[in-house]
Amino acid sequence: MGHACKLTVAFGLGLAFAQARAAGPPLKLVMLSGSGEYKSGDSLPPFAKHLEANYNVKATVLQAKGDTELPGTEAIDGCDVLLIFTRRLKLEGESLERIKKHCLGGKPVVALRTASHAIQTWLDLDREVLGGSYKGHGPGNVIQKVTVAPEAKGHPVLKGVADFESPYSLYKTSPIAKDATLLLTGATERPAASEPAAWVRECKGGRVFYASLGGIKDFDVPAFRQLLINAVFWVAKREAEAKP
């Protein structure tokens, strides 16, 4: 091997080691899956694999069994970010208390679609933590146009996110909390309606992101996937780190 080649290899190895050191420990992400209507059990595991393959993330998906069991919630205790995508689970005891402890303890939360009514035994999650006021949804079989709120352009969660469309009903989420920052608006033409579709806020010092999107077809949209990746790192107060 020539001298120049040796220098190139040495530089490349040095850069790789420097990047690995700079990246730090993986972001520990726990995802709660239990939204059968929107097939969270089909969308979250591939998304977790995508994150682990491309970013400095260790992702764990906890899948609900029926509407009363969520095995493995002890993983929440040591996680950096909790992602919630369940629907009307009737949790009690330790499982519920672990979720409450995280959400009400100033820790990072990302929430999707039915997370506004994620836990039937704790419906105040929407108002207390997410900053929403879910009141049902509009008719199905419509195209929801999702647009970036003009005042939010430049927000880190919207980096690389352009307007897109979603084939799912428009959630009635307004009014959102006064301390929330609107990021995206969803609108339909027939019927004519517009609602907040994504926003961020702080709850007891912890960053929170919520989007009323998240059906399985949304995960096929690059803008939605980028939105979610940005949100996971933003709530953790970390830059999106490529896999070391």
Q: Is the dihedral of CA 203, 126, 38, 168 positive or negative?
A: negative
**Which residues, including other chains, have CB under 8 Å from residue 176's CB and lie 6 or more apart?**
131, 132, 133, 182, 196, 199
Is residue 9 domain-resident? Answer: no
Look at residues 34, 31, 66 and name the one whose alpha carbon lies nearest to residue 46.
31
Contact (CB, 8 A) for 83 and 32: yes
pLDDT tens for each residue of 132-186 = 999 999 888 899 999 999 999 999 999 999 999 999 999 999 999 999 999 999 9
Give the pLDDT of residue 63. 98
Q: In a 10 Å sphere around its CB, with 0-12 CB exposed, 13-18 middle and 19+ buried, how is residue 51 labelled?
A: buried
Is residue 165 domain-resident? Answer: no
Domain count along the chain: 1
pLDDT tens for each residue of 196-221 = 999 999 999 999 999 999 999 999 99
Look at residues 110, 102, 160 and name the one whose alpha carbon lies nearest to residue 130.
110
List the CATH number of the domain containing 214: 3.40.50.880
Q: Is 226 left (phi over 0), alpha (psi -120 to 50) or beta?
A: alpha
pLDDT band at 190; cut points 50, 70, 90 = confident
Is residue 95 domain-resident? Answer: yes
Look at residues 128, 125, 113, 140 and name the one whose alpha carbon lies nearest to residue 198.
113
Q: Is the dihedral of CA 156, 159, 162, 166 positive or negative?
A: negative
Q: Is 141 left (phi over 0), alpha (psi -120 to 50) or beta?
A: left
Average pLDDT over residues 227-231: 98
Can you tell me the distance from the alpha carbon of 238 to that of 207, in angstroms, rounded to the nearest whole number? 12
DSSP character string of 81-112: EEEEEE-SB---HHHHHHHHHHHTTT--EEEE
pLDDT at 96 over 50: yes
Domain that holds residue 94: 25-134+196-235
Q: In a 10 Å sphere around its CB, with 0-12 CB exposed, 13-18 middle and 19+ buried, how is residue 241 labelled?
A: middle
Is residue 177 domain-resident? Answer: no
Give the pLDDT of residue 2. 55
Is residue 169 domain-resident? Answer: no
pLDDT at 22 over 70: no
Is residue 144 domain-resident? Answer: no
Is residue 37 domain-resident? Answer: yes
Q: What percentage of the chain reaches a pLDDT higher than 90? A: 86
Can you tell me the distance from the alpha carbon of 73 to that of 220, in angstroms, rounded to the nearest whole number? 28
Is residue 168 domain-resident? Answer: no
pLDDT band at 94; cut points 50, 70, 90 = very high
pLDDT band at 26; cut points 50, 70, 90 = very high
Look at residues 124, 133, 142, 109 and name the one whose alpha carbon lies nearest to residue 235.
109
